[in-house]
Amino acid sequence: MDFIKEREDIRKFRQTLLNEATPSPEKRSILWTLGHIGAHENGMRLILETSLIKEIVDMAENSQVLSLRGTCIYIIGMMCRTSIGRREIQKHNWIFSKSQLASGIVSVCLPRDPRNLFKVDSGPFKGSITCQKQVVQNIKEIKKDLELSKEEQEVLDQIGNLINGVTWQQAYNDLQKQQEKNPKMFLNPRLFEHTVLLLSVYNRIQPKTRKFIFNLFDQ
């Protein structure tokens, strides 16, 4: 714990956690790290040197990312394994399960009013469908400036289909067939350039899929 204190890791974690630009997966990683630190008395003392408990409680009750709310509930439970954590969480109108503590299992914590966990603002929200529509529009804009043959356009269409779990297998097979049928087409630097541009639009393509795409041009 002295090592963590000297490096000021808790302070750095807090800054990253409260930064709106931090991606949700990174925030969840930080929360789990804080949970493991706070599951011990000495670690909990370090956390109490900041306002993290209040901020994690606020995130559990008010975050617009519902998966973060769930993670926060687990983390608060881990911190309540310590007597310090239990005393602190009660200050924020949360309760914990004593029976779980007696058996040595991670405690279960909830607000005294559980409805606090289910409050969701009715403000504007952009879901995945909206994001996909934007991606499709971006692709259409890219294609306007392309000077590719019909076959090369089809290659780009199939590469775009690789992001969809429903069309992935068919697109994978079609690209393999096209590569075997016309390998010279994949030697075209212009096609490769536009493929890279297309990949920059998609931010959810898995590494193995990206590797497959680049291997098509690896001749």
| pLDDT digit string, tens, across residues 11-28 | 888 999 999 888 888 999
What per-residue confidence (pLDDT) applies to 54? Answer: 93
pLDDT above 70 covers what percent of the chain? 78
pLDDT at 1: 55
pLDDT at residue 72 is higher than 90: yes
pLDDT value, residue 97:
77
- Summarised one tens digit per residue, pLDDT across range 44-71 is 988 998 889 999 999 999 988 888 999 9
Res 55: pLDDT: 94
What's the rounded Cα separation, in Å, for the pair 40 and 78?
9
Rounded to whole angstroms, how far apart are CA atoms 154 and 169? 16
User: Which residue would you say has higher pLDDT here, 40 or 104?
Assistant: 40
What would the mean pLDDT of 129-135 be, rounded to a whole number? 50
pTM of the complete model = 0.55
Supply the pLDDT for residue 60.
92
Q: What is the distance of C-alpha 21 from the center of its chain?
A: 12
Whole-number pLDDT of residue 108: 80
If pLDDT is split at 50, 70 and 90, which confidence band does 129 have? Answer: very low
- List beta partners, residue 111: 94
Q: To which H or E segment does residue 131 belong?
A: helix 128-144
Residue from 193, 205, 124, 201 nearest 163 by CA: 205
Check residue 130 and give its pLDDT: 45
Map residue 109 onto helix, strand or coil: strand
| Residue from 88, 56, 84 nearest 71 by CA | 56
**Boundaries of every domain in the chain:** 2-118, 128-216
Residues paired with residue 145 on neighbouring β-strands, in sequence order: none
- List residues bridging with 109 in a β-sheet: 96
Residue 32 has pLDDT above 90, yes or no: yes
Mean pLDDT across the chain, nearest whole number?
81
pLDDT at residue 92, as a whole number:
92
The DSSP output letter for 119 is: -
